[in-house]
Amino acid sequence: MSSSRLGLRAREVLSVRVTGSASTIPLLTSRPSFQARGLPLAWTSSFSTSQARPNRSAREAMMGSMPRVEQRGSPSVESHQKMRNGGMNEAMAETISMILPGTFILPPLSQFPKPLGQKFRLLGSWIVAKVQEVVLNTSVRWSSKPGIFKRPALKYKKSTLVPTAKALHRSMLQALATGDRLAINKTCARKLGVSLLVNIDARPRGRRYSWELVEYTNKLFYPTIKSHKLSPLGRERDAPILRQMIVAISSKQRKGVYDVEGRVIPGSEKEMDVVEHVAVSCVIDPKNGYAQQDWRVIGTTTPTTLGSWAKDKEIMKMILQQ
């Protein structure tokens, strides 16, 4: 599969917003992010969809169902027409709520498949995906060069990715615990923000929730950048560019629930160790000197498996065939 060709096709395809139309072809969403569901405790503040080290039943009783969407979405005809009819801002706001196809998140060794052959297949697929990621990012940067002997206009520092993801992750969870709507709208992509605001509205009247980041854990291995991708949102040379990163964060978190009188509800105060794969994205505007808009949290996702990667390859194959 040619990464440069995939990048060119992505210029057209990524301008289409993912929705749930059953009659359309699935193209974009490669992994789950957040969506509101009926949560017994709607303030859910961990969102971990990866390695949850506490007892699963105890954690679910405290957090409720994990807010996630289906693994696959499909672009709707109405969204495509919205882009063509001038609804660029609205369509783009929804586009950055997706995780790009071809995003590969290497799991820890403990989550590798047991058969040796499958281990090598998973590792080999990751190597191929990383090469494609580097080639595509390089081609996008190269296309920003004003002249063949000039430096690319698109500049960024990867050293800021981890601190940015950690700050957004922490701000979002604090805002969710306190019910800070303004902070949620500021830190979250539209789809995630709406789902979290729905959860806040569903809270029992008079209850107060607390969340605290006790410490970052496993500092030898975390936090770490699992993926960093650039993808144009159109075929034009000056089309907006979607920048997406996924950072794995390991932390110890404490949360609790308080009644109307401000007393801790017995059994609600918990500490848990979690590893979360936080997906964050932003848009770069070539028409404005490649200025980068604010980062937004998309949600969390899970490490790639051989099965999910096979589905991703089908999506990318369909993109190339269009």
Decide if pLDDT at 94 tops 80.
no
With both helix axes pointing from N to C terminus, report the angle between 161-178 and 190-201 in degrees, rounded to the nearest 10. Answer: 20
pLDDT band for position 177 (cuts 50, 70, 90): very high
Q: Which two tokens stand for residue 175?
A: 């805002």
- pLDDT exceeding 70 applies to what percent of the chain? 70
Q: Which residues contact 159 (CB under 8 A, 6 or more apart)?
A: none
pLDDT band for position 306 (cuts 50, 70, 90): very high
Residue 242 φ/ψ, nearest 5 degrees: -90, 125
Decide if pLDDT at 121 tops 80.
yes
- 172-184 exposure pattern, b = at least 16 Cβ within 10 A, e = fewer: bbbbbbbbbeeeb
Query: Whole-angstrom Cα distance, residue 322 to residue 21?
Result: 19
Tell me the one-letter amino acid at 258. Y
Q: For domain 3-321, say whether CATH 3.40.605.10 is its number.
A: no
Token pair 């028409």 in the structure block, residue? 287
pLDDT score for 321 = 72
Decide if pLDDT at 81 tops 90.
no
pLDDT score for 182 = 94
pLDDT band for position 18 (cuts 50, 70, 90): very low
Decide if pLDDT at 84 tops 80.
no
pLDDT score for 221 = 93
Task: Tell me the domain boundaries of the chain.
Answer: 3-321
As a whole number, mean pLDDT of residues 32-58 equals 37
Closest CA to 299 of 5, 44, 87, 14: 44
* DSSP structure string for 129-151: HHHHHHHHHHHHHHTT-SSTTS-
267 against 141, higher pLDDT: 141
If residue 176 lies in a helix (H) or strand (E), which one and from where to where?
Answer: helix 161-178
Helix (H, G, I), strand (E, B) or coil at 301: strand
pLDDT band for position 237 (cuts 50, 70, 90): confident
Decide if pLDDT at 312 tops 90.
no
